[in-house]
Chains A and B, each alone.
Chain A
Amino acid sequence: GESVGLHLPTLSVQEGDNSIINCAYSNSASDYFIWYKQESGKGPQFIIDIRSNMDKRQGQRVTVLLNKTVKHLSLQIAATQPGDSAVYFCAENAESSASKIIFGSGTRLSIRP
């Protein structure tokens, strides 16, 4: 299997419960934030994004919350399913610049049956 994701923090959640994954971002100038899902052996998959002029955005079963005061981002997954098992990481971008995208190291989400 792939070694991506070794030594990552792990969140274990009962199937059907809600999951909350947190991310502390580093650059106060960041104005665009993205959550990705990465399954073993695959590339990251876009989940949801949010711009700094918003503090909440909802998608299908997912909600992203942004707290600029404490530079904190969270991803909430409702009614967690086995297929949600993956590594989740956030990314921040300042000034729409490709060279200023910063990726977090990720959190592994594990689903208990």
Chain B
Amino acid sequence: DGGITQSPKYLFRKEGQNVTLSCEQNLNHDAMYWYRQDPGQGLRLIYYSQIVNDFQKGDIAEGYSVSREKKESFPLTVTSAQKNPTAFYLCASNGRRGNQPQHFGDGTRLSIL
């Protein structure tokens, strides 16, 4: 089945450590996104990429980095500069043309040790 796979489901970070969240899609979508979800709030956009080898900052990019070397993959690194990383991270994708709904993965929950 086509879909988006995020891994790991749970991740723990130590102080000063960078961690990388994986997102892979086999939907042949051009655009991919990373969102952060906090209790009682709407999704907030961290980074997005509309084509391979190109990505743009979203509303809360500070302390995060991404790469888009392959169409299928859009990993997110949470760096030590992100002082409040505890959250539920969601990856999404959709086609680039026109209005299309985003398909989401099942998320990674990141916590601080």
A residues near B (Cβ < 8 Å) are 2-8, 31-32, 34, 36, 41-46, 49, 51, 89, 91, 93, 96, 98-99, 101-106
Contact = CB atoms under 8 A, between A and B. Distances in A.
B71 interface: no
A2 B58 contact: no
B42 A105 contact: yes
A82 to B, nearest CB: 21
Interface string B11-38: 0000000000000000000010101010
Contacts of B33: 98
B42 A41 contact: no
A5 B42 CA distance: 10
B106 interface: yes
Contacts of A7: 39-40
B98 interface: yes
Contact of A89 (B42, B45, B107): B42
B10 to A, nearest CB: 10
